[in-house]
Amino acid sequence: MIATAAGCSSNQPKYHPGGPYYYKSWAHYFSPYRPVDEISKSEADELERQGYGFYVAFFNEQGRIKSMEKRYQGKIEFKTLCYYDNDVLKKEEVTDANGKVTVTLYDKNSNILKQ
């Protein structure tokens, strides 16, 4: 995963806490990822029936993304878990379909420390 300093921002959008919420797409040039084009569960089920992928997201109490996964043909293609400290992204774990985990650590300004 590649994240640029411009995409890592403490000015992340806030979402409704909880989930699951369903989306057609995501903005991958931000860290953490940002889901876009919210859809209903029935729309997500229909996309899956037609052979298309969709995204499922959960948000923490502050409305920050806690986890997001891409589902395609009944399987999870990748899953992202986000960890915060005082509402600032500190760690992101991305697990691909093969189980490989990539961890990215961030400093207090959301700049990448280690990947």
Q: Provide DSSP, 58-81.
A: EE-TTS-EEEEEEEETTEEEEEEE
Q: Quick one: pLDDT at residue 68?
A: 94
Q: Is the peptide bond before 20 cis (omega within 30 degrees of 0)?
A: yes
Beta bridge partners of 101: 95
Sheet holding 75-85, edge to edge: 34-39, 18-27, 54-59, 65-72, 75-85, 88-96, 101-106, 112-114
Q: What pLDDT shows up at residue 7? A: 39
List the chain pLDDT tens, one digit each, 115 residues.
333 333 344 456 678 899 999 999 988 766 677 899 999 999 999 999 999 999 999 999 999 999 999 999 889 999 999 999 988 999 999 999 999 999 999 998 888 886 5
Where helices occur in the chain by DSSP H, the ranges are 41-49
* Omega prior to 35 cis, within 30 of 0: no
At 34, is the secondary structure helix, strand, or coil?
A: strand
All structural domains of the chain with their residue ranges: 19-114
| Other CB atoms within 10 A of residue 10 CB | 10
How many residues in total does the chain contain?
Answer: 115
